[in-house]
Amino acid sequence: MSQSASSETWTVQRILEWTTAHLKKHGSDTPRLDAEILLAHARHCRRLDLYTRFDDVLTEDERTTMRDLVQRRAKHEPVAYLVGRREFYGLPFRVTSDVLIPRPDTETLVMELLEALKPTTEPRLLDIGTGSGCIAITAAKQRPDARVTAIDRSEAALAVARDNAETLGVSDRVEFLHGDLFAPLRASGSNAASFDAVASTPPYIREDEFDGLQPDVRLHEPRIALVAGGDGLDVARRLIAESPEFLKPGGRLMLEIAPEQAEAVRTLLETQGSFDEVRLIKDLNRDLRVASARKRP
Ligand SMILES: C[S@@+](CC[C@H](N)C(=O)[O-])C[C@H]1O[C@@H](n2cnc3c(N)ncnc32)[C@H](O)[C@@H]1O
């Protein structure tokens, strides 16, 4: 996509073909999809609309925008950050490089959470490590009678989450607090066992795994959202130890986990002393992805 090429030559079809080949060469696993999302973003249209406009010639502005997006994508910047948006559970979330990009794996946790909360009216939910707010906000959308508290150690992430809650119309029922795990609750004196569920997608990558992560993740997503000590369980271990203090009797802890941590997490939950009904749940790829346990009634 050289700047000197004649503008007539850059039709939608040609730019899609060129970008797909370029991104493939630079290591994208989904070059055609990336090309379509970026071009739709540059043209302010839906992906579908590109197909009815194959012969349109790009404007100068569109070409400039596309050139910048493609250069950044070729350096492994995730598409979600480039377009500032990612869909989660059918809802559009704003994302920036301050938040982890919501993953489809996490939808499994949300499904389990909603199922567990079904018998409870006006449930109270605590989301620890909220990032973009995807778990807290989705739960609030799905359960209009719920009240949600969402905590994160990153102020920058909380700003994005608050914005999402506002845009998605749940800011009156989702409270955002800044701090380390349960510390903001203790600081406000509300450390009574008042939650029907505590949900978390904690960081769970091992320190020694970090260098081997895909460049999209390693170079661009916040390290604080990813890495949790030598065995990846530093945060999960604390959540399992401390959450019973904040759960009502019969309330549930739900953690997203890496499949290879499943047995270690099961053991932590079973030996903590406060939990029963410990279960490991598979995601749509049939990987063990969620650990769930009930605080003894
Ligand atoms: C894996 S991300 C999950 C984000 C979001 N819940 C999701 O599923 O997309 C983990 C989040 O936990 C936050 N975090 C990490 N350590 C924390 C701690 N000790 N206390 C509170 N939040 C923490 C990070 O800032 C990050 O936003």
Cα dist from 185 to 115, 127, 153, 175, 296, whole Å:
26, 12, 13, 11, 22
**What totals of helices (H) and strands (E) does the chain contain, helices first?**
12, 9
- Residue 117: count of CB within 10 angstroms of its CB: 22
Predicted pLDDT of residue 22: 97
Atom of ligand 1 nearest to the CA of 200: 6
What does the DSSP assignment read for 87-98?
A: EETTEEEE--TT
Atom of ligand 1 nearest to the CA of 204: 1
If you measure from the C-alpha of residue 151 to the centroid of ligand 1, how many angstroms do you get, rounded to a whole number? 8
Which of 7-16, 35-44, 164-173, 177-186 has the lowest average pLDDT?
A: 7-16
Start-to-end Cα distance in the chain: 64
Task: Determine contact, residues 293/269, Cβ cutoff 8 Å.
Answer: yes
- Rounded distance between C-alpha atoms, residue 140 and residue 124, angstroms: 10
If you measure from the C-alpha of residue 180 to the centroid of ligand 1, how many angstroms do you get, rounded to a whole number? 10
- Rounded distance between C-alpha atoms, residue 96 and residue 119, angstroms: 36
If you measure from the C-alpha of residue 202 to the centroid of ligand 1, how many angstroms do you get, rounded to a whole number? 5
SS3 233: coil
Which of 6-20, 85-99, 113-127, 151-165 has the lowest average pLDDT?
A: 6-20
Predicted pLDDT of residue 1: 58
- Rounded distance between C-alpha atoms, residue 5 and residue 18, angstroms: 13
pTM of the model: 0.94
The two three-digit tokens of residue 140, written as one number: 């609030």
Pairing of strands 288-295, 247-256: antiparallel
CATH code assigned to 7-75: 1.10.8.10
What does the DSSP assignment read for 109-128?
A: HHHHHHHHHTT-SS-EEEEE
18 closest CA partner among 39, 48, 41: 39
- Rounded distance between C-alpha atoms, residue 177 and residue 267, angstroms: 30
- Spell out the domain ranges in the chain: 7-75, 89-295
Per-residue pLDDT band at 4 (split at 50, 70, 90): very low
- Rounded distance between C-alpha atoms, residue 177 and residue 223, angstroms: 20
Task: Please tell me if the CB atom of residue 130 comes closer than 6 angstroms to any atom of ligand 1.
Answer: yes
Tens digits of residue pLDDT in 113-163: 999 999 999 999 999 999 999 999 999 999 999 999 999 999 999 999 999
If you measure from the C-alpha of residue 128 to the centroid of ligand 1, how many angstroms do you get, rounded to a whole number? 7
Task: Please tell me if the CB atom of residue 106 comes closer than 6 angstroms to any atom of ligand 1.
Answer: yes
Atom of ligand 1 nearest to the CA of 154: 25
CATH code assigned to 89-295: 3.40.50.150
pLDDT at 218 over 50: yes
